């Protein structure tokens, strides 16, 4: 048999494995630096018993970078952890690691070693009566696939949840499976992409905390969820418990800071985020969160001054805007595909009247591919609002509001776009009741509202006679755009 035939035969076996090389993680080249940074942060700063998967993912990232020798080292670390922490189930826990070993050895041209790891997988599958040579129904494998998908971004959250649900069907009280399920449900619930699905993570988080009482990370997520449902005092108790555990402190500071930011305690949030940033200077998430805090401080001044800051207030507001811009730019340097950070940067520029900079960032956002439909929908809505109040262009606003209604699934942003179209159409009809464009727009809006009601959407919308914003507004009304976001 020729070497090429041997390699092809090995490749035919490899594609049957369940591991990072076959899970279609869809990692874009531009995403690799940020993913690598987050993987390293978790390995160094998150104290958890469930870190075999993160070393396997690290090995796959090293492979994507072309560093297969380093990938082998990460797999050795994963194997050592399996022997140390999962001695009661080494074979099933090792299936993914062996699969990754086989793929890395294949890419290094070490076909005999690749066959050796394939044989290990096949032997375990045969021993456990799997009908397949190189894969089996196994909750440990489902769990590890869930962790990998979860770490690789929001586009994979639904698949990740399905993996953890499959694992829990076979072992409903397993602490690791419940932790993965709770984290994924929390992320889904807080993802703009899935807002309309109304995922509920609260029960899952409570169960995970019960099964993992020493896990600070899962406690702070429960605290944030409790805060979201109006139970902030109970949430604060879990925050204090998590901080008292003294484990994973640098890692959980970002989530504790998020809790304080949502509670309006910006200075406390910034203090925690800056501490974490000293330990993790390449964290896009930390820089983004700091940017959000400074943007909120800016808005606090605008609200306190009735949207007309002057003198020292104006100076403070400009200082916070500059700090927000610095951290948003650092975010985008570390993760160029962080679309929401680019939108936030544009919105800060709007707040301080830097419309050319805002325009440039919107155009950059629109030019980026690939981009999630929910993000693109959001960008068109806010750009349309920018056109109404800052650029005084109703025609351009209508164009972008229409695009927002035509992209993606039903959402809060889609509803806001529909409402904005209705307001612009009614305003045009107040001036000319025979305006054909306005009548056509209103007909389109009523059609969308009818479809939403037929689908059971109970989102409240203003009635046709409700007050309309004045596109000729000046001063603070014209300059003020205060947007709210939910973050994972």
How do the domains of the chain map onto residue ranges? 3-152, 258-479
| Per-residue pLDDT at 267 | 96
Distance CA 376, CA 369 (A): 10
Q: HSE on the CB side for 76, CA within 13 Å?
A: 7
Cβ-count burial 252-269 (b if 16+ within 10 Å, e if not): bbbbbbbbbbbeeebebb
pLDDT digits (tens, 9 = 90+) for 384-432: 999 999 999 999 999 999 999 999 888 899 999 999 999 999 999 999 9
Q: 3-152: what fold?
A: 1.25.40
**Equal CATH topology for 3-152 and 258-479:** yes
Q: What is the pLDDT of residue 157?
A: 94
pLDDT per residue of the chain (488 residues) written in tens, 0 to 9: 566 778 889 999 999 999 999 999 999 898 999 999 999 999 999 998 888 999 999 999 999 999 999 999 999 999 999 988 877 776 889 999 999 999 999 999 999 999 999 999 999 999 999 999 999 999 999 999 999 999 998 889 999 999 999 999 999 999 999 999 999 999 998 875 554 455 589 999 999 999 999 999 999 999 999 999 999 999 999 999 999 998 899 999 999 999 999 999 999 999 999 999 999 999 999 999 999 999 999 999 999 999 889 999 999 999 999 999 999 999 999 999 899 999 999 999 999 899 999 999 999 999 998 888 889 999 999 999 999 999 999 999 999 999 999 998 888 999 999 999 999 999 999 999 999 999 999 999 999 988 777 655 544 333 333 333 333 333 333 333 434 333 32
Residues whose CB is less than 8 angstroms from the CB of residue 291 and which lie 6 or more positions away in sequence, other chains included: 323, 324, 325, 326, 327, 328, 331, 341, 344, 345, 348
Spatial separation of the C-alpha atoms in residues 349 and 329, rounded to whole Å:
12
C-alpha distance from residue 422 to each of 394, 406, 415 (Å): 12, 15, 11
Nearest alpha carbon to residue 477 among 416, 378, 414, 388 = 388
What is the assigned CATH class of domain 258-479? Answer: mainly alpha
């Amino acid at each position: 048999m020729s070497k090429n035939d041997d390699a092809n035969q090995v490749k035919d076996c490899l594609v049957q494995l369940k591991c990072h090389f076959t899970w279609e993680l869809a990692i874009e080249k531009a995403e690799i630096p940020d993913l690598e940074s987050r993987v390293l942060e978790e390995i160094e700063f998150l104290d958890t018993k469930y870190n075999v998967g993160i070393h396997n993912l690290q090995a796959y990232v090293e492979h994507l970078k072309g560093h297969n020798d380093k990938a082998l080292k990460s797999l050795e670390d994963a194997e050592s952890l399996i022997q140390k922490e999962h001695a009661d189930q080494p074979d099933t826990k090792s299936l993914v690691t062996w699969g990754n070993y086989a793929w890395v050895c294949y890419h290094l041209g070490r076909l005999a070693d690749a066959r050796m790891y394939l044989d290990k997988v096949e032997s375990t599958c045969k021993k456990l009566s799997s009908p397949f040579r190189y894969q089996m129904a196994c909750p440990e494998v489902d769990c590890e696939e869930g962790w990998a998908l979860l770490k690789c971004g929001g586009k994979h959250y639904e698949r990740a949840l399905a993996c953890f649900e499959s694992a829990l069907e076979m072992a409903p009280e397993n602490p690791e499976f419940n932790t993965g399920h709770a984290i994924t449900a929390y992320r889904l619930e807080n993802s703009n992409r899935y807002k309309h699905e109304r995922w509920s993570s609260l029960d899952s988080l409570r169960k995970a905390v019960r099964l993992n009482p020493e896990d600070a990370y899962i406690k702070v997520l429960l605290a944030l969820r409790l805060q979201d449902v109006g139970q902030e005092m109970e949430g604060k108790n879990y925050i204090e418990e998590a901080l008292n555990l003294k484990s994973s402190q640098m890692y959980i500071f970002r989530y504790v800071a998020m809790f304080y930011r949502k509670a309006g305690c910006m200075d406390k949030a910034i203090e925690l985020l800056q501490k974490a940033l000293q330990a993790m200077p390449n964290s896009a998430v930390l820089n983004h969160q700091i940017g959000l805090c400074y943007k909120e401080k800016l808005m606090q001044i605008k609200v306190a001054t009735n949207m007309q800051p002057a003198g020292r207030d104006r100076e403070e507001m400009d200082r916070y805007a500059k700090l927000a811009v610095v951290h948003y730019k650092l975010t985008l340097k570390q993760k160029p595909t962080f679309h929401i950070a680019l939108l936030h940067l544009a919105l800060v520029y709007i707040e301080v009247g830097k419309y050319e900079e805002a325009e440039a960032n919107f155009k950059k956002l629109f030019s980026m591919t690939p981009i999630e439909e929910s993000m693109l929908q959001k960008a068109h809505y806010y750009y349309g609002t920018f056109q109404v109040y800052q650029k005084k262009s109703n025609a351009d606003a209508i164009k972008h509001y229409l695009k927002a209604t035509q992209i993606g699934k039903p959402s809060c942003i889609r509803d806001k776009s529909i409402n904005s179209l209705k307001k612009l159409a009614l305003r045009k009809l107040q001036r000319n009741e025979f305006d054909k464009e306005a009548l056509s727009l209103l007909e389109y809006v009523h059609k969308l509202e009818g479809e939403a009601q037929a689908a059971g959407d109970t989102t409240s919308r203003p009635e046709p006679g409700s007050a309309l914003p004045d596109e000729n507004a000046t001063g603070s009304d014209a300059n003020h755009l205060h947007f709210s976001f939910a973050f994972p």
